Amino acid sequence: MSFHITPVNHVALNSGILDKNRTFVFSFIFFMNTITIKNKRFAISISEQTIQKEVTRIANEINRDLAGKNPLFLSVLNGSFMFTSDLMKQINIPCELSFVKLASYQGITSTGAIKEVIGLNESITGRTVVIIEDIVDTGITMQRLFDTLGTRNPKEIRITSLLLKPDNLQIDLNFDYVAMKISNDFIIGYGLDYEGLGRNYRDIYALVNTENE
């Protein structure tokens, strides 16, 4: 995916749509304002409207599949806080929610460096556990979390992720609820950050190729 930077801080960007496999693809050109964070330029790639539509779809699937199971949702901080908030507003079955931390991102690449799970105080023995993640890249971090939870004897573990990069996956896990599959662009917004900044944006932005600037 390539971008052309204009002198007026606008970028020619392919607008995104979802194909039948829930993969985010690009279809036509339009001009969009960009944002700059620490000398990196980003342009909107997924709109707030598209995000909310897919969050609603996932919530409906969870409500259908997990009715009567009293699931425990585990939100992975910090990136999933917006996704978790919007998702849980639409979950209408009895459930519980807790938060854990397990990070692998540093800078604009996923290093796979893994930290221990922090914040899981509830017993999950015999429980249906639903991991809420913002993005799965290599999957190494998710595998670590999945395996760690598995040692605590849950009844089942399900995974929901706002975004998935299938071309980067290095593990074989079943992802039960995925809103959108994306390419290998580095993205920010809607909880995702670049060096701690950018989480607050409602849309999702992709890093702009600045080779021609």
Positions marked active-site: 137
Block residue for tokens 């699931």: 71
- DSSP, residue by residue, 108-168: TEE-------B---S--TT-EEEEEEEEESSSHHHHHHHHHHHTT--SEEEEEEEEE-GGG
Block residue for tokens 């993005």: 135
Nearest-angstrom CA–CA distance, 27 and 9: 22
Burial category of 169 from C-beta neighbours within 10 Å (exposed 0-12, middle 13-18, buried 19 and up):
middle
CB 38 within 8 A of CB 197: yes
Contacts of residue 200, defined as CB under 8 A and 6 or more positions apart, other chains included, come to none
